[in-house]
Each structure stands twice: as structure tokens, then as C-alpha cells.
Structure 1
Amino acid sequence: MKKRALWKDVFREIRHTKARFLSIFAIIMLGVSFFAGIKSAGPDMLNTAATYYKDYRLMDLRVQSTYGLTEKSIDDLRDIPGVQTVQPVYSSDVFLGESGLIAKVYSYTGENELNGYKITSGHLPEASGEIVLDANLLQEEKFSLGDSITFSGEAGNDLAENFQTLSYTVVGFVQSPQYIETSNRGTSRIGKGTADAFAVIPEDNFNLPVYTEAYLSFTDTAAESAYTPAYDDLVERHLSETEDALKNYPEQRLEELKAEAAEMMAAGQQPMDATQQQQQQQQAEALAAQNPLEQPKVYVTDRTINPGYAEYKDNADRLSAIATAFPVFFFLIAALVSLTTMTRMVEEQRLQIGTLKALGYGAMDIMAKFLVYGTLASLAASIAGLAVGFTLFPGIIYNAYGQLYNLPDVIKSFYPAYAIISIIVALVCTAMTAMIASRVELRSNASVLMRPKSPKSGQRIMLERFGFLWRRLSFVQKVTARNLFRYKQRMFMTVIGVAGCTALILTGFGLKDSIGSIADRQFGGIMKYSALVALHDNATAEDKASYAELIKQEPAVTGTLDVLQEAMTARAKGVNDQEVRIFVPTDADKLAPFVTMKDRTTDEPRVLTDEGAIITEKLARLYDLVPGDSLTVLDSNNEEYQVKVSAVTENYVLHYVYMTPAYYTEVFGHDPVYNTQLLNYSAQDKQWEDTFGEKLTSNGQVAMVSFSSGVGEAFDGTMESMDVVIVVLIVSAAALAFVVLYNLTNINVSERVRELSTIKVLGFYDKEVTMYIYRENILLTLLGIIFGGALGILLHGFVLSTAELDATMFAPLIKWQSYLYAALLTVLFSGIVMVFMHLKLKRIHMIEALKSVE
């Protein structure tokens, strides 16, 4: 009977105090949905990628050798314990027709292969002369189904030796688990050093004497998910076993090459037909390429060598870090709001508590009502928050990364651990505060509780001690000041709630400022050149002369600079591999009009010397480098080189290593080959750029043209995906502000209903009664905005440091307009609450309120 009465009493209380119950419900739901949603976004991202890797059988290990892999080496790999699949592959780097694009071409057998392909259009190659291209090329409208493509190579490289045919028909477009990034296709042995795309042709169309690489998968890794410690440990062990299995291969391969060379020399003394002579010539030329007398090298690498694989996990981990910080606002404010609300609820029921205590009810029996009330609010809010968080936030956040990665739709999951944590924290915020509030009242005797609570004795506030100021205040201003300090708990609660709202809004707009300023700072501020022209190394003398004449005859062109741009890979233990661009101008003294190199904080210029290289700031930060340290870089053949750092320069997008020609020669052992020309021109018209671009691309020496204006616009487009995150922050801040201000204002009105009725009886109009309350709210809102601005700066810095991608650096910038928008929106949310409260104040029944004590 006692339990039944308790539940009836609780539900009666909920019906009579809907606004109070809903305010607790709303603030807890916001905190739970934010925590569960953002916290689950990271694991959902990793689970989506891991499922994609399993579905398309992404390899566990990749084996490469400088002289290729023979059938015997493939058999040795199959003998490694635990190997499930060994897949040998042919590959080669080519230019795709006249487009100037560099593609990494792979062989395809049509069997159940590792590194499978997800078809987005058309079908996989089924016959000789069919080719499937990277899906990005279809999205960028570079090629379409049915197009014809002819492979070409660099000067002196006859691709006919590598392929049965050089002409292909596009029959499909695919995505690959090896290339989950949209913009990175790894390094290339030709052209500018980076691949623009990948392509797939039938294995029979290759004409290579040995395999270029082999992919391996293992039986025990199939049961583990990518990005887990269990999977990483297994792969590390298998990598070591594979290296041991191939430790004798370099020496054996060298002996095979010597034996083949001897056989070919002997065969040269015997009569041969034309076909045999051609085969011998091809083999001799193949043996004569990177010196056959040198012992070949073998490289065994895991999945982390794939572009974007490791950075994708880092991005997911960054989300988890953000999820740890953001919900603190909501849960902290939820606890404070709940404490204020439950304290008010307990005070309202002093008479009932005193009566029950006088009748002999124990403290726990009396406290149970408030505990159940708070628990119901928190459990209901937790369930709603988990439902919203686990389903809504992961999709929003995942889509914000959609333009960075080629991955399927996010797989949403339920995480019991996050749900339990959310519920426990929610219960602490409500049940614990209910216990604290009721225990304070239960310390009093029943006779005391059955009488109204004595008002606090009047005290002089600090402001009164400054007589020269206090005397100048009006009566209403003095009342406002006294009321603020009389209800200190509510004062601090309102300031904290408004500050949290302002901080979230400012962080959202600040992120927009930091990300939006990158394009202007990078493309125009640092990279000052107007256009970048990639040049063919194998161009004819006629094409070179034609290009030079084209530039000379264009009056808008104000300056040119030949540079080498070559992609390499930076590597260090404990850091993700990063693609770096080696940048070597023909004359370092002429670089300033094209590229600005300076310190970001002091604007001190950086000058290239022959003593070392200048690296960009984010690269130095990732690898913890300072002037005097060395950076390890690898070329497309996995050869390591040490680059001494002489200085660090400001940069926001990608990683650059600037060198003088002399220092480049010192590091790499050969002179730079200048494959790019930077252009500056005075014309700013988009139509002129289009016309000039057509002239350039039609020239035989030009491989590709990139205008800085277009690059900046494309980058801005990519970053627009972050707008969704910013909207979520602002909407959440609005909800936070509304709940906190409404709840506290409602309590304020309820506590002072007799006071407000008294001034109504004394002749105050409705608007004057409203302003009597809202003068306090306006002042507290302004204080909250000031503190929120400072808090927002700290939160903005935290988000920037955790949300940055490896290849970008956000500018630590918040524009003054963002402070203004954050303040105005906070005032707007506060104003909406004031409108609702004004309507409630108008409905106060003066007589009933004044005789409520009786």
C-alpha cells in the first residue's frame, strides 16, 4: 500500500509540475544525446570502415621488391604459416591519354581477389582492351563510360614492353579499399611524383617478366576487426614472419638475374627468329634497368601504407576526445539546474514533509518521493537521449567527413558501455541532487517544517559599502542589486548557463572562421602564384618551343618560375606516414613573388640556404621537429633519405619541404629535374582564366594546369561539410539556453509570487512587474555573455587542436563578428524566454498568492 501511494503521489506531482519535470528531462536529454551521439560517432566510423575492408578483402600485408617477385618467391609466401591468400599482382604507372593524369594500373584476374573493387558504374574488365577507372574520375567528369584511352609514358620509356596493348575502352568505374581518401592516390614513379587515380585492366594485358607486388591475408586476422589492438598485434607478428621467410630472397634473386644474363649472352650466339630476338631484347632491357649487380631490396608493409588508412582512425579518435569535453557543459549545468529545481520542490513541500515526519515516517520514506521523481525524469531523458544520440549524431558527423573519404553509408550501432555511463551520470545529476536537497530540509524538526520558512535576514550587500555609487542608484536599481545577491545560487546558475550557451555558439562560429580563413591564407597569402603548370618530361623540342612562345606572347603574365615538385613519404616511428612535396625552385632568390615563407607568429621571413630544408609548420608539429633535426623521407622505390631542417614556415594545407637545387643534389645524389612552372599574371577575370587554360592544355608540353582561384574554391567546398557540425552546435546551444533560462526564471517567479503580487496590488502595471524580474535576468545574461566569450576562446582552441586533420592546420582565429553573433543569439534566446514568462506573470492571481501562507 505504501508503494502504491508513493507512485500515485509521484505521478500527481508530475502532472502538477509539468514544466519543472520537462525542464529536468530536457537538460538531461541534451547531455545524454550529445555524449552518446558524439562518443559513438568514432566507433561507428571505424566499424563502417572495418566492415568495408572485410567485404572487399583488403590485404593484411603487401610485399614488394626492387627487382620484382618471381613465381618461386610467391610459393615461398604461400608456405608461411597461417597464410590464407597470396595474390601476386602486376602494376605500372602511366599517363592516361592526353589528360595529363597519372594512373597506377593494376592487373585483375576476375577471381575472388584481395583488394576487391566496389562498382559504382559499369562492370569490371572482362576482355582484353577493357579498363576500369577510379570512380573519382567520373565524379570529376574526366572520363565516362565508352571513352577510349591510350597509355603513354615518359621520354625513353616504351610502354609497349609492359603491356600487350596500349589502347583501352572504359567499361566501368570503381572504388577500392586501398584508397579510401578522395584526394590521395599515393606516389608515382613518373611525372610529378603523385598518382591522380588508379585503374584496372585484365592480367593478360600486362607483359612483365615478374610480378611487381603481392598481397597477403591470414586466417587469424579474418576474425578481427581493423583498427583494434588484437588485429594490430596479429599483423605485426605476421609482418615479422614474412620478413623472415624472404630474408634469403635478395641473394637468390641476384643469382637468378646473373644466371639469366649468362643464358641470354649464350643464346645470343645461336640463331633466333624475330619473336625470340624481341623477347631477348625485352629481357635484356629489363635486366639493364635500377643496376642488376646490386642486391635487390624487399619491402613488407601493412595496411597503414594505404593513403588515409591510419589518418581515418585518428579522425575517429579525435571525435572521441571532443565527445569527452562537450557533454561536460550539459551534464554540469544539468546537475546545477536539477539541484536548484529539486531544492525548490522540496521547499514547496515543507508542510507535507513536516506532517509526514510528525506522523512517524522515516527519512528514507519521505525522501523516496523526491528520489523517484528525479529518477523518473533522468531515466526517461536518458532513453530519449540515447535514441537521439545513437541515431542522429553519428550520421551528421560521418556525413561531414563524406567529401574526404570514399566509404559506404555509416553503420550505426548501440554501445551498452556508453548507455550505462550516460544513465549513471544522469542519475547522479538528478537523484543525487534530490537527496542533497531533501536531506537539508529533513534535518529540521517537524514543528519547524510545518511552519513557513523564515525569510533570510536582510544584509548589506557589497555595493552598499561604496556610498558614492550606491547613493546615485534609483530605488528600482537598488532592489535589483539586492535581489541578485539575495539569491546567489540562482545568480551563479544563470551566469553559468548563459556562459555555456555563449561558449558553444562562439565555438561554432569560431570553427567557421578558422576553417574558412584557410583558403585565403594558403592560396593567395602563402602560395601567391596565380597558376601552376605541370609539364611533360618527354615533350618534343617543338612542343617546348611552342609553350615558351605561348607564355612570352601573353601580356597578362607578369612572372614565371621553374620548380621541381616531387611527392615523397615522411616516416617516423609512432607517427602516421605523411605525403610531403619536395619543392625546389631554380633560383631561391626569385621565390618570394610566388611563395611566402615566414614565421606564423612573428612574421619573420624564412630564407632558403644550401645548409638544409625549410619545412611547413604542421609537418614539424606532427614529427616534433625543430631546426637542426632531421626528417626521414622515402621515394617511390622506398629508398630512405635524411633531410636536415633549417627552419619552419607557416602553411595550412598539405606538407612541403623547400630546398635549394644544391641541397637537393646533396640529399638525393642527382640534379633536380624541373617539372613544374609557376605563373603570375595580372588578369583577375574568370573568363580570361578559362581561355588561357584552354590554350595551355592544348599545348603538347603541358600535362595539367591548376589555377589558385579554383583550388581555393574547391577547398572551401570541401570544408562546407563542417557547416552541419556548426549548426548542430548552435541548435544545441539554443536548446541549452532556453531550458536553463526558462527553468531558472520559472523558479524565480514561483519563489517570489507573493512579492510580485504585493507590487501588483501597490499599482505596478504588467510590464513593470515583468521588468522587475527581467532587469535581473538582463544583467545576468550580459555577465554570462562576457564569461561565455572567455570560455568560448578556450573551447575553440581545444576543438581546433583535436579536430585538425593531419594534412591541414586550422588558423587560430575568431572574427569580431562571431563574438557579436554569439552575443546577439544568446540575447535572442533569453528574449524568447522572457516573452513566455511575461505571459505567465500576467496570469498571477494576486489575492490567492497573498493568502497562500494561511
Structure 2
Amino acid sequence: MKKRALWKDIFREIRHTKARFISIFAIIMLGVSFFSGIKSAGPDMLDTAGTFYQETRLMDLKVQTSYGLTEDNIDLLSDVPGIDEVQPGYSADVFSGNNALILKVHSYDSDKPLNQYSMIEGRLPEDSGEIVLDDKLAGKYALGDKITFSGAGTDAELSNNFETLNYTVVGFVRSPQFIEKSTRGTSGIGKGTADAFAAIPESDFKLPVYTEAYLSFKDTTGVKAYSPEYEGLIEQHTKAVEQAMSSVPEARLAEMRAEGEKELSSGRGKVAAAEKQLADLKRQPEGVQQEQAANMKAIADGLVSAKAELAAGEQKLAELGLPKVYVTDRSANPGYAEYKDNADRLSAIASAFPVFFFLIAALVSLTTMTRMVEEHRLQIGTLKALGYGNRDIMAKFLVYGTLASLTASVAGLALGFTMFPTIIYNAYSSLYNLPDLIKSFYPSYSIISIIVALICTTLTAWIAARVELRSNASVLMRPKAPKSGQRILLERVTFVWKRLSFVQKVTARNLFRYKQRMFMTVFGVAGCTALILTGFGLKDSIGSIAPQQFGTIMKYDALVALHEDASADVRDAYEQLITGESTITGSLSVAQETMKAHSSAVNDQDVHMFIPASVDAISDYVELRDRVSGEKRTLSDEGAIISEKLAKLYGLEPGDQLNVVDKDNETFKIKVAGITENYVMHYVYMTPVYYSSIFGQEPAFNTELLNYTMHDKAWEDKFGEKLTANEGVAAVSFSSSVGTAFDDTMKSMDVVTLVLIVSAAALAFVVLYNLTNINVSERIRELSTIKVLGFYDKEVTLYIYRENMLLSLLGIVAGSGLGIILHSFVLNTAELDATMFAPIIKWPSYVYAALLTLLFSGIVMAFMHIKLKRIHMIEALKSVE
């Protein structure tokens, strides 16, 4: 009977205090949904991509050499331990007819399993002359359209690569190799970057050797992409493949030279035959020579041409160097690594932001449950007097809190695991070509959420009830003695106190009389303001990276990577091209080399060595300065200047040493002479003299930085085509396109920050409503009294809200300071090893955070005004208290 009565009492309590139950439910639901949603978004994104890679059988490694791959090379790869599939193929860069689009054309064979295409429209190519296009070209082409290939050279040269140059579009596809929508990798023709990919039947390629081979391994089949286990396996397999291919360069060079000598022997034979034929004609009588004059001229012209071809062939053979072998993993595919970076940023934010979110929820829940227990003081005393035990009396409050937290947790988990990841993933879908999000249930996050929710309500109810139950029944059945009135600190400042009106004095006394409520309101408002400000601050920090890195710090307009083994003639042609462009205002030769920074306590980091040929000219191309003071940094022969994030990761200060490891695993110690502002990747700047003193060799200037006045994309595309047409140019990168691409990636974080801001704003509303509701409930007799005394409804509302507005303003000020600390903490947590967020909050963000908090405070006041108008004065005054 007792249990039945208890449950009836609990449900009666819920019915009578719907506003309180709903407010507890709302604040816990918000906290749980936010925590579970943000926490699951990153893993859901990685799981979706990993499943997509498994379904389409994305390769594990890609092998290329500068002279192509022969059947013997493919056999070598097939013998690598643990190999599952070796899929050789062809690819070539071409122009697409009159559109001047650069297509990266791949071979397609239905019998080859790796890198399968996802069909968007149409079908895959089956016969010669059929082509499927990247689905990003669906707006430019339609099924059945004709495409003609053209190249940087003549059509005759292009015909040596393809069976036909005319193709019919039969479908549009997506490839797991190109998950990023905007980028399709580099190109050896045109402006240096590909616009789209395409696939044709493998039989339509006429190349003598394979251009690449894709590999998959048995032990990676069931392992999720991006996981540490997968990365570890790929690192092992990469070393094994590099070892297997170590003898290929010498063998391939010998093979190429043998083929070249064979062709030259044939050419020499043709020259000798032409020379003999011409000599024989010259020995003929003069009359016969006159008759054969035309024939002799043709032979002589042919001989000159044959000798020129022979000389060119001999020079080409002499210039043949060792081919380079490139073994790359999935991270070389456009968008693959960036996608993981974005998911990692979410996971990092999820580890910092929800903690503060839950802290505010717990604080407000504690206040609410404590108030509930205090309201039932008389009932607790009565039940105690009737013989009920402490456990039975406490059960009501525990069940009330548990019901609120469990139902809120279930609703929050359902909302969190479905809504938040979907919103965030849809924001990233503007950047990536991936299937619909795979949403998963995470028991660990669910258990954590429920435990925290129970702590927020059930534990606080237990603590509050336990405090009351320590008193005996007679004490509990008497009204709690009101707090004795005391002079407040402000009263002692007579100069100020005398000038306050009566209402202002009452407001001041009420604020200091209820110090706990004052603290709770200020802290609740401050917490919400801090969360909103952190959201806006994240937007400021992330949005500042691209303009700072690719405008203020990297001042050059273009970066041209050069072939180190280019001939003098090729270099001269390049110099003539640069000097012939009137818009180019300056150029700087730079040696760039990538090494690994190493320390036992930190993960190894890729470090880009940057050695300018002219130390005095570097300030025109790269800004070296201290981020805080803006003081310029100058290169000297006594040490190197390193980027700020690198120094931060390894705990380095000027005078310390940075350990770097080259490709041969040899370690070098670099003295840190200074630290410079930098946001993307790690750089080490040094003079040629210091480089030589550390590495024992002269730097190889393999890069050139360019500055120009014509900042126009059409001009850059044309200029890029001229550069890539030069044999000495390996790649071209324009700062404008790099900055735009990075900015686009960062803009996807805007939705994440918007989710943070909206969630924080919703929390602010619930917190303000809850605290204001408690304030009104605690002072219901006081408000009824002043209403009976003749105060109008608006005056009664203002009586409460003068205090609330003052406390809200104090909370906003405190929240702004707290927001700076929280913003810094979230930035440090969310940063990746290779990036540094700009630690700034712009002044409009402070205004927006304050206005949003005031807006919700005003909305709550409007609701409370309606509630105050409905107060039944006589009933409130009749209550025993």
C-alpha cells in the first residue's frame, strides 16, 4: 500500500509541478543530446567513409615510377608479402575538346576489382570509344554527348597514347579516389591542376608500359580506414613495397638505355645508308647528277633531318637518369586526409565543449532539486511524524529526479545520435562526394550520458533530501526561520546609498540577502554567455586562418616546383618565360625539403625546410614575425627560425635544439634562433650558410616563388599552362587557389560552430527560465503582499526583473571573461598537430553573445510576466510558511 501511495504521490507531484519537471527534462535532454551528438558525429563520419572505401575496394597503396611499370615490375609487386590484389592500369591527362577542361583519364576493366566506381547515371564503358565522366561534369555534358581529346602536343602525338580520340559519354560516376568535390589533383598539362576525372576501356590505351599499379593487402580487408591499426599496417606494407622496388630503378635505366641504343643503331644505319646513297649519286656523271638533282636534294634533306633526330636521340639517351619510384598511400588522394582532419576536429571539440555544457546543467539541476526538497519541508516533517522512514520519504525525490533524468536521457540520446551527426555531415557534404551518413549507437556515450544525468538530478535530490532529513519532525513541521536582516556593504557607502531611490535600495537588499540565488543566476548566465561566445570565437578563429596564412604570412602569388635534373637549355627557356612576363614583379629561388621532426614524447611531424637563395629578399615573399608583438624575425647564420605550432608541440624556445630526421634516417640537430607566426603546416627557415653547416652540402634550389600584379584567375590559368609546358617545371601552385580551397574546408566548420551557438543559446533559455521560475516560486508570498498593497502587474514584474536584469548584466560581463578562457581551452583541444587556430575573438562576437543572452532573458521575462499576472494573492498569503 505504501508503494502504491508513493507512486500516486510522485505522479501527482509531476502533474502539479509540470513546469519544474519539464525544465529539468529540457536541461538534461539538451546536455545529453549535445554530448552524444557531438561525440558521435566524428566517428559516424569516419565510419561512413570507411564503409564506402570497403564497398568500392579503394586501393591501399599506389605505385608509380617516372618511366612507367613493366610486366616484370608487376611480378615483383605480386611477390610482396601479404599482397591481395595488384591492379596495373593506365592514366593520362588530356584536354576535353573545346571546353579546355583538363581530364585525368583512367583505364577501366570490369574484371579488375579495385577502385570501383559508384554509378550516378548511365552505365560503365563497355566498347571502344565510350567514356564515363566525373559526376561534377553532369551540368556540362549529357549522356550521348561527344568528347574529343586534345593535348599539349599534336594530335599525332596523342594518337600514340589512345586508339581513338573521339568518345561518347555513356555515364557519370563517382570514384573513391576523389572524395573531395573541388579538387582532382595535379596535372602535367595546362594550368597544373586537373578539373575532373574520366574512365575509358583499358583497350583504348596504347601505352607501352603501365603508368601505375594499385595494391591491396589481405590483412587490411576488414580494418576500418583511418584507424591506428590500419595506419600501422599501411606503414609496414609501404616499407615492404619500397624494399621490393629498390632494384627497379637501375634495372629499368639499363633497359631504357638498351632500347635507346637499339633505336639509335637503327637511326645510325639509316644515316649511313643515306650518306652512301648520296655519295653514290655524287660519283655519277654530271648529266646523270642533273637528272637526279631533285632526288639528291630530297636525300640530302632527309639526311639532315635524320642526323638531327639522331643527335636529339643521343642527347636524350645521355640525359637519362635513374627513374624515381613513388609509393603513396590513400592520404595522397584529394580530400582523404582532410576528411579525417575535419572529423578529428569534431572529436576534439566534443571532448571539451560538452563538459562545460553538462556543468551548467548540473548546477541548475542542483538548484531546482534543492528548491523542490525545501518546498516539501512540511510534508517531510509530517511523514516523519507518521512513522515513515527516511528511505521511504527520500524515495519520492529520488524517483522524481530519476524519472526526469532517464526520460530526458532517452530523448536526448535519440535526438543526439540522429539529428546532430546528420546536420554536421550534411554541412560537410558540400565538400565531399560520399554516400548517406551511417548513424550508429554508441553504448559508451549512452552510459556516460545517463550516469552524468543521474548525478545532475538523482544525486542532487539525495543530497538535498539527506540534509533536510537530519532534522527531527517537530523542527521540519515548523516554518523555516527567515534570514535575519543585516546591513549590506552598500549601505556603509553612505554617499551612494543616500542617493538611491526606495526601489533601488530594495533591489540592492534583495540581491545581497539571497546571495546563493544571486551567485547561481550570475554563474548560470555567465556560463551560457561563455558558451555562446566560444561558438562565435571558434568561427572567428577558424575563419581567420586562410587570410592570415595565404595573404599576410605567405605573401608570394605563385610557387613553381622545378625539376632538379633539368638541362641548361630547359632552365634557360624557363628564365626567358619568366622574364618575358611583364606582370611578374619578382622571383625568389628557394630550396625546399621535407624532413621529420623527432622527439620521444611527441608524434613525428613533417617539417618543410625553407632555404631562400637571397636572405635579404625573403621579406617580400614570406613574413617572418612574432604573432603577439609583431616584431620582425631576421634569418642569421647562427640558427633557424621555426613556426610557432612546431615550437609549441616540442616545447622549444630560442636557444633550444630541434631534432630532424632525413629520408635516410639520419638525425640532425637544428638550433632554434627564433619563432615565427604560422597557422598551416610546419616550417623551418634558414640561410644557405647555416643549411650547409648542418647538413654538409649545398642546398638544391628546387622551387621558385613568384610575385605578380595580375591577380586574375583567367590570367593565372593561361600562365599556368605556359609554365607546365616547360619541361623544367614539375608543378605550379597559385596562392589564390590554395587559400580558397583551404578556406572552403574551414567554412564547413561554420555549421559546427552554428550548432554550438544554437545549442548554447537553447541552454541559456532553459537556464534563465529555470532560475527565474525558482526566484518567483521562492518569493510568491512577498510578491502577493506587494500586489495586495496596490502594485500594478508591470510594477510587480519590474520588482523581480530589476534584479534579474542587473544579475544578467553581471553574468554577461563575467561570461565574457569566462568565454575567453573556454575559447582558449577549446582551441588548444581542437587544434590538429599540423594546424594552429588564430587565438582571437572579434569584438562583434562579444556583442552577439551579450545580445543573444539579453534576448533570451527578455523572452523569459515575458513568460514570467504572464505567470505573475495569474498569481492568486489570497491563496498565496493563506499558505502556511
Question: Is TM > 0.5 for Structure 1 vs Structure 2?
Answer: yes
Amino acid at match of 1:434: A
Matched residue SS, 2:214 = strand
186-195 or 595-604: which moved more? 186-195
Once the two structures are superposed, the pairs formed by residues 372-521 of structure 1 within 5 Å of their partners are 372-521=399-548
Match of 2:754 among 704, 722, 727: 727
Match of 1:742 among 769, 785, 795: 769
2:560 aligned with 1:561: no
Cα offset, 1:288, TM superposition: 4.2
Relative to 1, partners in 2 of residues 1:143 and 1:151: Cα closer, same or farther, differing over 3 Å? Answer: farther
Matched residue SS, 1:211 = coil
2:817 aligned with 1:790: yes
Alignment partners' CA distance in 2, 1:289 and 1:128? 38
Alignment partners' CA distance in 1, 2:736 and 2:867? 56
Amino acid at match of 2:861: M
Cα offset, 1:117, TM superposition: 2.7
**Would the aligned equivalents of 1:661 and 1:672 in 2 still touch at CA under 8 Å?**
no
Alignment partners' CA distance in 2, 1:383 and 1:545? 71
- Residue 277 of structure 2 corresponds to none
Once the two structures are superposed, the pairs formed by residues 606-755 of structure 1 within 5 Å of their partners are 606-607=633-634, 629=658, 649-652=676-679, 672=702, 677-680=706-709, 693=715, 719-755=746-782
> RMSD of the alignment, in Å?
5.0
Alignment partners' CA distance in 2, 1:354 and 1:373? 19
Matched residue SS, 1:601 = coil
* CA deviation string 1:298-352 (max 9, x = no partner): 6655434444434433432332221122222332222222222122222222222
- Residue 115 of structure 2 corresponds to 115
Once the two structures are superposed, the pairs formed by residues 149-228 of structure 1 within 5 Å of their partners are 149-152=149-152, 163-164=161-162, 167=165, 169=167, 171=169, 174-182=173-181, 198-228=197-227
- Residue 276 of structure 2 corresponds to none
* CA deviation string 1:469-526 (max 9, x = no partner): 4455444333323322332222221111101111122122223333344454456544
- Residue 367 of structure 2 corresponds to 340
Amino acid at match of 2:4: R
2:38 aligned with 1:38: yes
2:864 aligned with 1:834: no
Alignment partners' CA distance in 2, 1:188 and 1:376? 62
Alignment partners' CA distance in 1, 2:546 and 2:359? 37
- Residue 818 of structure 1 corresponds to 845
Relative to 1, partners in 2 of residues 1:544 and 1:84: Cα closer, same or farther, differing over 3 Å? Answer: closer
Relative to 1, partners in 2 of residues 1:698 and 1:214: Cα closer, same or farther, differing over 3 Å? Answer: closer
Cα offset, 1:102, TM superposition: 6.7
Cα offset, 1:369, TM superposition: 0.9
Alignment partners' CA distance in 2, 1:54 and 1:516? 34
Relative to 1, partners in 2 of residues 1:354 and 1:837: Cα closer, same or farther, differing over 3 Å? Answer: same
**Would the aligned equivalents of 1:150 and 1:166 in 2 still touch at CA under 8 Å?**
no
Q: TM-score, normalised by structure 1?
A: 0.81
Cα offset, 1:59, TM superposition: 1.7
Amino acid at match of 2:113: E
Alignment partners' CA distance in 2, 1:258 and 1:422? 68
Cα offset, 1:377, TM superposition: 0.7
**Would the aligned equivalents of 1:565 and 1:584 in 2 still touch at CA under 8 Å?**
yes
Alignment partners' CA distance in 1, 2:243 and 2:742? 45
207-216 or 343-352: which moved more? 207-216
Cα offset, 1:50, TM superposition: 0.4
645-654 or 210-219: which moved more? 645-654
Alignment partners' CA distance in 2, 1:209 and 1:811? 51
**Would the aligned equivalents of 1:137 and 1:143 in 2 still touch at CA under 8 Å?**
no
Matched residue SS, 1:602 = coil
615-624 or 84-93: which moved more? 615-624
Relative to 1, partners in 2 of residues 1:51 and 1:162: Cα closer, same or farther, differing over 3 Å? Answer: farther
Relative to 1, partners in 2 of residues 1:543 and 1:745: Cα closer, same or farther, differing over 3 Å? Answer: closer
Alignment partners' CA distance in 2, 1:366 and 1:382? 25
810-819 or 33-42: which moved more? 810-819
4-13 or 203-212: which moved more? 203-212
Cα offset, 1:765, TM superposition: 2.6
Relative to 1, partners in 2 of residues 1:626 and 1:91: Cα closer, same or farther, differing over 3 Å? Answer: farther
Q: TM-score, normalised by structure 2?
A: 0.79
- Residue 764 of structure 1 corresponds to 791
* CA deviation string 1:662-699 (max 9, x = no partner): 9999978766575x753226xx9xxxx58x84996799
**Would the aligned equivalents of 2:133 and 2:198 in 1 still touch at CA under 8 Å?**
yes
**Would the aligned equivalents of 1:696 and 1:705 in 2 still touch at CA under 8 Å?**
no
Matched residue SS, 1:114 = coil
Alignment partners' CA distance in 2, 1:668 and 1:104? 37
622-631 or 364-373: which moved more? 622-631
Matched residue SS, 2:709 = strand
Alignment partners' CA distance in 2, 1:267 and 1:529? 50
Relative to 1, partners in 2 of residues 1:146 and 1:803: Cα closer, same or farther, differing over 3 Å? Answer: farther
Any stretches of 5+ residues in structure 1 without a counterpart?
A: none
Matched residue SS, 1:87 = strand
Alignment partners' CA distance in 1, 2:528 and 2:466? 31
Amino acid at match of 2:539: K
- Residue 323 of structure 1 corresponds to 350
Which has more radius of gyration?
2
Cα offset, 1:38, TM superposition: 0.2
Cα offset, 1:661, TM superposition: 9.4
48-57 or 192-201: which moved more? 192-201
44-53 or 77-86: which moved more? 77-86
* CA deviation string 1:392-426 (max 9, x = no partner): 11122223333443322321111122112111111
Relative to 1, partners in 2 of residues 1:408 and 1:736: Cα closer, same or farther, differing over 3 Å? Answer: same
Relative to 1, partners in 2 of residues 1:497 and 1:201: Cα closer, same or farther, differing over 3 Å? Answer: same
- Residue 231 of structure 1 corresponds to 230
Alignment partners' CA distance in 2, 1:543 and 1:248? 34
Match of 2:388 among 354, 361, 365: 361
- Residue 75 of structure 1 corresponds to 75
Relative to 1, partners in 2 of residues 1:142 and 1:519: Cα closer, same or farther, differing over 3 Å? Answer: farther
Cα offset, 1:588, TM superposition: 6.2
Alignment partners' CA distance in 1, 2:865 and 2:180? 54
Matched residue SS, 1:216 = strand
Alignment partners' CA distance in 2, 1:242 and 1:542? 38
- Residue 11 of structure 1 corresponds to 11
Alignment partners' CA distance in 1, 2:561 and 2:242? 39
**Would the aligned equivalents of 1:619 and 1:655 in 2 still touch at CA under 8 Å?**
yes
Matched residue SS, 2:344 = helix
Any stretches of 5+ residues in structure 2 without a counterpart?
A: 274-305, 726-730
Alignment partners' CA distance in 2, 1:353 and 1:507? 43
Relative to 1, partners in 2 of residues 1:841 and 1:114: Cα closer, same or farther, differing over 3 Å? Answer: same
Matched residue SS, 2:146 = coil
Amino acid at match of 1:679: Y
Relative to 1, partners in 2 of residues 1:818 and 1:209: Cα closer, same or farther, differing over 3 Å? Answer: same
* CA deviation string 1:1-59 (max 9, x = no partner): 32222221111111100100001001001100100000000110110110111011012
Matched residue SS, 2:150 = strand
120-129 or 727-736: which moved more? 120-129
Relative to 1, partners in 2 of residues 1:667 and 1:785: Cα closer, same or farther, differing over 3 Å? Answer: farther
Relative to 1, partners in 2 of residues 1:458 and 1:623: Cα closer, same or farther, differing over 3 Å? Answer: closer
Alignment partners' CA distance in 1, 2:684 and 2:433? 28
